[in-house]
Amino acid sequence: MITNTLKNDRYHSLADSLRAALCTMKKFLFPTDFSANAKHALDYGYSLAKQVKANMIICNAVIEPAEVPQAGLVSWPLEESELLLEDSSHELRLLREHLEGKEETISFNPIVTCRNEAGTVMDMVSHLGHDLDIGLVIIGTHGSSGLNTLFPGNHSRQMIDEIDRPLLLVPPAAPILPIKKIAFATDFKNPLDDLECIYTLITLARPLNAEILITNIFNEDEHVAEWFMNQLANKANYPHIYYRVIEARHPVAGLDWLCEHGDIDMLAMVHRSPNFIDSLFRRSQTQKMANHIPISLLVFPASR
């Protein structure tokens, strides 16, 4: 149960989070490596940005050989560094022109800007996120389809573990279509933190007129679930929020069933431990079903 003392202690914090969430999803950041998967994620994100009236920043981190392990003795000429940045800037301009070709006169067209710099992807995302007040970071993932392909590389894993703002992972098979239903999977072990994330999620769902399906597939604490939904009803001011329990012997099986039969366009979760989300999609049972589930995954960082 959530005690009255705890609720009173966090009430103002939640109210502040709700007010802050109202202006959260105004800028999207797209780290890119210029791959086909990254371009698909960019197109996916551009479509989403148009619908929620957000602007976009496309960025690229130029990693110099001198910064790569085992290359500490390499002397990297300044001229070569400048050439790499010029090539990066050229590719970024091409991506911006690609998106500008999608502009329409009867709808909102996001303002698209480009940034690049030498260094690591994580460092670039971290400081641009703070300097530019980024509401959502969107990255493409490798693999043909399915949630099990969301974690193939070090960049995705590191970003999931370290990023301090919402992160949307887009697999190559994710269709670029209007998002009508978003499932938020929770175990209700940290309900106050979950509420803060859902308030932010509402700012994304509202302009989409999308349903938010609060899904409990981890435990059966009906008292917490009832309190949780009452809080949303009283404070969220969003009518399209629903709740359901999925009975499953293991969270993986429940997520599989949700993605297969829940008719959802996006799955949202809070990442609370270094290996939590990764472990959910690593088992063979999940991989078998997830291979044909081409949906995006929205990851919220837990409270620090």
pLDDT (tens place) for every residue of the chain, 304 residues total: 455 444 444 444 444 544 454 456 889 999 999 999 899 999 999 999 999 999 999 999 987 554 445 545 455 566 677 888 899 999 999 999 999 999 888 889 999 999 998 888 899 999 999 899 999 999 988 654 444 444 445 567 778 878 888 999 898 888 999 999 999 988 788 888 888 899 999 999 999 999 999 988 766 666 788 888 888 888 888 999 998 877 666 666 777 777 777 789 998 988 876 555 555 555 433 333 334 457 888 988 877 5
Q: Which of 155, 134, 139, 131 is nearest to 63 (CA)?
A: 155
| CA–CA dist 10, 249 (Å, integer) | 33
Angle at 273 between CA 272 and CA 274, to 5 degrees: 135
149 contacts 142 by C-beta, under 8 angstroms: yes
Domains and CATH numbers, the chain: 4-22+177-301 (3.40.50.620), 27-134 (3.40.50.620)
133 contacts 30 by C-beta, under 8 angstroms: no
**Phi, psi torsion values for 95, nearest 5 degrees:** -65, -40
| CA–CA dist 279, 269 (Å, integer) | 13
CA 160 to chain centre: 9
Supply the pLDDT for residue 66: 47
125 contacts 58 by C-beta, under 8 angstroms: no
Would you give the DSSP letter of residue 22? Answer: T
Supply the pLDDT for residue 192: 85
Amino acid present at 27: K
Please, which residues have CB within 8 angstroms of residue 269's CB and are 6 or more apart in sequence? 184, 185, 186, 277, 297, 298, 299, 300
Tokens 């260094």 correspond to what residue? 119
